[in-house]
Structure 1
Amino acid sequence: MTARRCPALFLTAPASHQGKTTVTAALARHHRNQGRRVRVFKTGPDFLDPYILERASGHAVYGLDLWMNGEDDCRARLHQAAADADLILIEGSMGLFDGTPSSADLAALLGVPLAAVIDAAGMAQTFAAVAHGLTGFRPGLAFHGIIANHVASERHAEMLAQQLPEHLPLLAALRRDEAVRLPERHLGLVQAQEIADLDARLDRAAAQIAATALAELPLEVEFPDFAPPAMPPLLAGKRIAIARDTAFAFVYPANLETLVQLGAELAFFSPLADAALPDCDAVYLPGGYPELHLDALAANTSLKADLHKHTAADKPLYAECGGMLYLLDRLTNREGGSAAMLGLLPGHATLQARLCGLGLQQMDFPGGALRGHTFHYTRLETPLAPACHARRASGAGMGEALYRQGSLLASYFHAYFPSNPLATASLFLP
Structure 2
Amino acid sequence: MARCPAILIAAPASGQGKTTVACALARLHARQGRRVRAFKCGPDFLDPYWLALASGAPVHQLDLWMTGEADCAQRLQDAALQADLIIVEGVMGLFDGQPSAADLAQRFGLKVVAVIDAGAMAGTFGALAWGLQHYREGLSFAGVLANRVASPGHAVMLEDSLRDPAQWLGALTRNEALTLPERHLGLVMDHELGDAMVRLDAATDALAQTRLGRMTADDLQAWAVDFEADDAQRPDFPADVLQGQTIAVARDAAFCFLYAANIDCLQAMGAELVYFSPLADAALPPCDALWLPGGYPELHAQTLAGNQAMKASITRHVQAGKPVWAECGGMMALFDKLTGVDGESQPMCGILPGSVTMQKRLAALGPQQLEVAGGILRGHTFHYSTCATTLQAASRTRAAPGRTLRGEGEALYVSGSVKASYFHAWFASSPAAAARLFLKEDHD
Q: Under a length normalisation based on structure 2, what TM-score does the superposition of the two structures give?
A: 0.95
Query: 1 CA distance for matches of 2:235 and 2:135?
Result: 37
Query: 2 CA distance for matches of 1:415 and 1:219?
Result: 33
Query: 2 CA distance for matches of 1:428 and 1:74?
Result: 26
Q: Which amino acid in structure 2 is aligned with residue 372 of structure 1?
A: G
Match of 2:349 in 1: 342
The aligned runs of 1:9-48 (5 Å cut-off) are 9-48=7-46
Secondary structure at the aligned position of 1:45 is classed as coil
Aligned-pair RMSD on alpha carbons? 1.1
1:405-427 deviation per Cα after TM superposition (whole angstroms, max 9, x unaligned): 00100000000001000000110
For the pair 1:155 / 2:161, whether they are aligned, the reply is: no
Secondary structure at the aligned position of 1:52 is classed as helix
- Structure 1 residue 229: deviation in Å? 4.2
Match of 1:375 in 2: 382
Query: 2 CA distance for matches of 1:195 and 1:337?
Result: 26
The aligned runs of 1:94-109 (5 Å cut-off) are 94-109=92-107
Q: Which amino acid in structure 2 is aligned with residue 415 of structure 1?
A: A
- Structure 1 residue 360: deviation in Å? 0.3
Match of 1:221 in 2: 225
For the pair 1:301 / 2:308, whether they are aligned, the reply is: yes
- Structure 1 residue 368: deviation in Å? 1.4
Match of 1:125 in 2: 123
Query: 1 CA distance for matches of 2:317 and 2:327?
Result: 18
Query: 2 CA distance for matches of 1:396 and 1:200?
Result: 42
1:351-387 deviation per Cα after TM superposition (whole angstroms, max 9, x unaligned): 1010001000000111211000000000101011100
Match of 1:231 in 2: 237
Match of 1:353 in 2: 360
Percent identical pairs in the alignment equals: 56
Query: 2 CA distance for matches of 1:167 and 1:410?
Result: 54
Quick one: which of 411, 423, 427 aligns to 2:421?
A: 411
Query: 2 CA distance for matches of 1:314 and 1:58?
Result: 40
Match of 1:425 in 2: 435
Q: Which amino acid in structure 1 is aligned with residue 396 of structure 2?
A: H
Query: 2 CA distance for matches of 1:330 and 1:400?
Result: 20
The aligned runs of 1:185-200 (5 Å cut-off) are 185-200=183-198
Unaligned runs of 5+ in 1: none
Q: Which amino acid in structure 2 is aligned with residue 150 of structure 1?
A: R
- Structure 1 residue 226: deviation in Å? 3.6
Query: 1 CA distance for matches of 2:176 and 2:230?
Result: 42
Unaligned runs of 5+ in 2: none
Query: 1 CA distance for matches of 2:203 and 2:277?
Result: 32
Q: Under a length normalisation based on structure 1, what TM-score does the superposition of the two structures give?
A: 0.98
Query: 2 CA distance for matches of 1:420 and 1:245?
Result: 26
Quick one: which of 67, 70, 84 aligns to 2:68?
A: 70
Question: Structure 1 residues 230, 372: closer, same or farther in 2, change over 3 A?
Answer: closer
1:301-355 deviation per Cα after TM superposition (whole angstroms, max 9, x unaligned): 1111111111111110000000000100000111122111001111100110100
Query: 1 CA distance for matches of 2:37 and 2:114?
Result: 19
Secondary structure at the aligned position of 2:6 is classed as strand
- Structure 1 residue 163: deviation in Å? 3.0
Secondary structure at the aligned position of 2:333 is classed as helix
Report how many aligned residue pairs link the two structures: 428
Secondary structure at the aligned position of 1:293 is classed as helix
Secondary structure at the aligned position of 1:330 is classed as strand
Q: Which amino acid in structure 2 is aligned with residue 288 of structure 1?
A: G
Secondary structure at the aligned position of 2:176 is classed as coil
Query: 1 CA distance for matches of 2:363 and 2:131?
Result: 33
Query: 1 CA distance for matches of 2:352 and 2:153?
Result: 60
Which range is displaced more, 189-198 or 246-255? Answer: 189-198
Secondary structure at the aligned position of 1:425 is classed as helix
